[in-house]
Amino acid sequence: MRIFRRHYPEYLMEAAGLGILMIAAAVFTTLLQHPVSPIRQAISDPLPRRFLIGIAMGLTAIAIVYSPWGKQSGAHLNPAITFTFFRLGKVQPGDALCYILAQFVGGLLGLLIAARLLGTAIAHSTVNYVVTTPGAAGVIVAFIAEIIISFGMMLMVLFVSNNRKWARYTGIIAGVLIATYITVEAPFSGMSMNPARTLASAIPAQIFSNIWVYFTAPFIGMLSAAEVYVRLMGRNAVKCAKLHHQNHKRCIFNCGYRQQLLDGESLLLGTRD
């Protein structure tokens, strides 16, 4: 309970972040996919429509990462990301559990808010609560595709966020990857990478078939990426669990940047003595 009382603002920020992402996904998908939408009528080819949805969602993710809330919570917005950082020793068990619960709750609340705003339009078959399901290529292809995109996202986060020169751009590159994945990969699996995001849509849509894909593949992909990174760079190369750490917001993680600062202050005081 003590850790909850101390860190509950970050848990609420994580819930709000994924909630906002789900609202954006529902709104932009409805605008671009619903048959009565003038944008849908003007653009008949699904590829440019997916590209526009990808751009919108990528920009939304970037905005969340660099928002005051994202800077403080770390903007995981994904149980697979939180669990991977926990596996890397950057997140305490209590924080990991609360982050994951907050992400599931926040994602569902966001989708329910979107359903309230959009009415029956969100239930139309072209939108269907932005549910993620395997494409025409089948379940196995969707499973493999989810592993690949999750692996790519987490490997990018680890390499970029732990590079002093490029760390500040982690959120931007993540947004570019999201836009690319939605454009290119969505026909294979719906582009989830996120069990909380998938469950948030599955509950109101009442579509749970093959949901195991989205509860396993993101974890397999991201944990595999962490294993590759550690083997190449070493466990000590992972500094923190935030996507954006170049700010003055508090950090609740096992933060290597904070330790470096404390070590530097100790060295300075020792020099002065």
For residue 62, give every residue at least 6 positions away whose Cβ sits within 8 Å of its Cβ, in sequence order, or none.
171, 172, 174, 175
Domain that holds residue 241: 2-272
Give the confidence band of 259 by pLDDT, cuts at 50, 70, 90.
low
- The domain that holds 144 is classified in CATH as 1.20.1080.10
Provide the terminal-to-terminal Cα distance of the chain, rounded to the nearest Å. Answer: 41
- pTM of the complete model: 0.92
Q: Are 142 and 135 in contact (CB under 8 A)?
A: yes
Distance, CA of 144 to CA of 134 (rounded, Å): 11
Count Cβ neighbours within 10 Å for each residue of 68-83 and write b for 16 or more, e otherwise: ebbbbbbbbbbbbbbb
* Number of separate domains in the chain: 1
Instruction: Report how far residue 203's alpha carbon sits from residue 200's, in angstroms, rounded to the nearest whole number.
Output: 6
Percent of the chain with pLDDT over 70: 94
pLDDT digits (tens, 9 = 90+) for 129-183: 999 999 999 999 999 999 999 999 999 999 999 999 999 999 999 999 999 999 9
